[in-house]
Amino acid sequence: MQRLELTWIGKGKEPKIEPRILLHDPSKDYGDPNTENMLIHGDNLLALKALEQQYTGKVKCIYIDPPYNTGAAFEHYDDNLEHSIWLNLMKARLELLKSLLRDDGFIFVQIDDDEMAYLKVLMDEVFGRNHFINTIVWKRRGGSANPKDRLNTVNDYILWYSKTSDYTIYPIYSLDDENTQEYIRKRFNNVDENGRKFMKSPIQSPNYRENLIYDYKGYRTPTKGYSISRELMEQWDAEGRLCFPEKKSQVINRKIFLDEYKGQPISNVWTDVKVINPMSKERSDFNGGQKPEAIIERVLLLTTKEGDLVLDSFLGSGTTAATAHKMKRKWIGIELGEHCYSHCKARMDRVIDGEGFGISETYKWQGGGGYKFYELAPSLIEKDRYGNPVISSQYNSNMLIAAIAKLNGYFYSPDRDIFWKQGYSQNNSYIYVTTNYLDSKMLDSIASDINGMERLLICAPAFDVGLDKRYDNIQVKKIPQSVLDKCEYGVDNYNLNVVDIPIIDEEEWEDD
């Protein structure tokens, strides 16, 4: 059946992304060494692919604020080619992000009106239109200017989707938005003997309740009865929570005190969360539009609980990680470029040390926790001086084993006792990667050690003729030839912005 969809130049030709390994750099870790939080430096499309094997179905909430495909992303915007590139790269990212979400998980994507309509249709396609929850409108700036050719644009959009229909949203309330403040001014216009402001709220039942029709201190009994029991009525009376009218012919009301009022449920129009004031201590020198922690706080309150995993693959100034950390959520943050060090890492170090900005006061934040720092490994395959594909010279033996295992769908996990069990998959299947020539003597020795229920994949640069057919439960493949068609190699930048990619130093990295 033909369906409605967004199409563009190059759709269906998304990149075959290399599932690279992540290199743990302990020298850049900070705080608790047992933390599960991760700060990853590198192109986020490659990083998401690197996370896919271990984190599929484990992330509860994703918040991203990608480049908006305006002048910040491309120098020219006049022939739809750049627009097609943006959509293709966004589609690839959204599909990976969806795979990382738990079945009860959510994704929020912040965007402006230049791309919102296109992104909405694209997300309908990736996540399913029936999984669209809301478009949140955030008023992020004032409208005092007087433009000549259009109305002021004062808002961003946040598109909110679930992965499945099996999810829970935790309502939150606000006292600060304009509608609630107007409601307070109109309704909380009474003051009790203790000086507490309150509003009157009916306690009459909307439906006939025969068992709740009772006399209370001689005041008029509601025709359909009360909505509360006599016991609760007496309790509220003792606590001073009832408003008794002057005349017995009138009905009793309840007092709702302003100092206990939590506000009205928030709507999808957020006018009460203000941008960061230029003089605010929360503001950093990040030029990419730093989000206030209050925005991320609201998203996480709506969708997560303590201990849930939060991911932001466009970490920017580090707001999502900082907010999640203070709210005791686990987090993964990905950012490309030098400001991963200068902004994201520096900010998270301050958070762990106990900085008191943003939502810190609300959560009585005193510091603690930590994160581990990761770099993306370089591409596994490079070209030699003759143009032939070879294993990258930047790979040591452990990196090579981990990379080949991941490319073949195995988890890198070397056995301490059995040398050929370097990684595992389902159904008692293992992988062994060697840079040495594999001869029949070595293969026969390994085969004698395998029980009848186990299977083994051996990857070697060369081997004796016929070894690939010698045993039914042992598969032998050549490297790098056997992995060349699995993905595209040598691409370090799928970025939506034009930035310089730093070169990874050739040193011994610890693979995690």
pLDDT in tens, 221-234: 999 999 999 999 99
Q: Can you tell me the mean pLDDT for 358-384?
A: 95
Sequence-separated (6 or more) residues with CB below 8 Å from residue 356: 365
Integer-rounded Cα Rg, in Å, for the chain is: 30
Strand partners, 334: 40
Judged on CB neighbours under 10 Å (0-12, 13-18, 19+), 249 is exposed
Q: Can you tell me the mean pLDDT for 36-50?
A: 96
Q: Which two tokens stand for residue 185?
A: 């001014």
Q: Which two tokens stand for residue 5?
A: 């969809």
Q: Which two tokens stand for residue 69?
A: 């495909």
CA-nearest of 119, 104, 111, 93 to 162 is 104
User: Residue 50 has what pLDDT?
Assistant: 97
CA-nearest of 70, 62, 90, 65 to 140 is 65
Is 22-170+275-376's fold the same as 381-483's? Answer: no
Q: Model confidence at 508, in pLDDT bands (50, 70, 90)? A: very low
User: Residue 75 has what pLDDT?
Assistant: 44
Sequence-separated (6 or more) residues with CB below 8 Å from residue 482: 459
What is the 3-state composition of the chain as percent helix, strand, coil, each rounded to the nearest 5?
25, 20, 50
- Provide the residue count of the chain: 512
Q: Is residue 241 a contact partner of residue 253, using CB atoms and an 8 Å limit?
A: no
Q: Can you tell me the mean pLDDT for 132-141?
A: 92
Q: Where are the domains of the chain?
A: 22-170+275-376, 189-260, 381-483
**In the CATH hierarchy, which fold is given to the domain comprising 381-483?**
Trna Endonuclease; Chain: A, domain 1 (3.40.1350)
Q: Can you tell me the mean pLDDT for 357-373?
A: 95
Strand 309-312 relative to strand 59-64, pairing? parallel
d(Cα 479, Cα 433) in Å, to the nearest integer?
9
Q: Per residue in 371-385, is it b (16+ CB within 10 Å) or e — as a string? A: bbbbbbbbbbbbeee
User: Residue 76 has what pLDDT?
Assistant: 37
d(Cα 61, Cα 502) in Å, to the nearest integer?
29
Integer angstrom CA distances of residue 475 from 300, 442, 456, 458: 47, 14, 6, 6
The model's pLDDT over 255-266, given as tens digits with 9 standing for 90+, comes to: 999 999 999 889
Indicate whether 157 pLDDT > 60: yes
Instruction: Count Cα atoms within 13 angstroms, Cβ side, for 323.
Output: 26
Q: Which two tokens stand for residue 308?
A: 């849930």
Q: Which two tokens stand for residue 276?
A: 């960061």
- The reply to whether CATH 3.40.50.150 applies to domain 22-170+275-376 is yes
User: Residue 283 has what pLDDT?
Assistant: 59
Q: Which two tokens stand for residue 332?
A: 């993964």
DSSP 275: P
Indicate whether 197 pLDDT > 70: yes
Strand 474-478 relative to strand 455-460, pairing? parallel
User: Residue 496 has what pLDDT?
Assistant: 59
The residue among 388 and 494 whose pLDDT is bigger is 388
Helices (H), 354-396: none
Integer angstrom CA distances of residue 82 from 8, 64, 68, 85, 262: 11, 21, 12, 5, 47
Indicate whether 485 pLDDT > 50: yes
Measured from the Cβ of residue 197, the count of other Cβ atoms closer than 10 Å reads 17
Sequence-separated (6 or more) residues with CB below 8 Å from residue 70: 77, 112, 114
User: Residue 510 has what pLDDT?
Assistant: 46
Q: Is residue 310 classed as helix, strand or coil in its secondary structure?
A: strand
Angle value at C-alpha 495, between 492 and 501, nearest 5 degrees: 50
Indicate whether 277 pLDDT > 90: no
Indicate whether 39 pLDDT > 50: yes
Side chain identity at residue 231, one-letter code? E
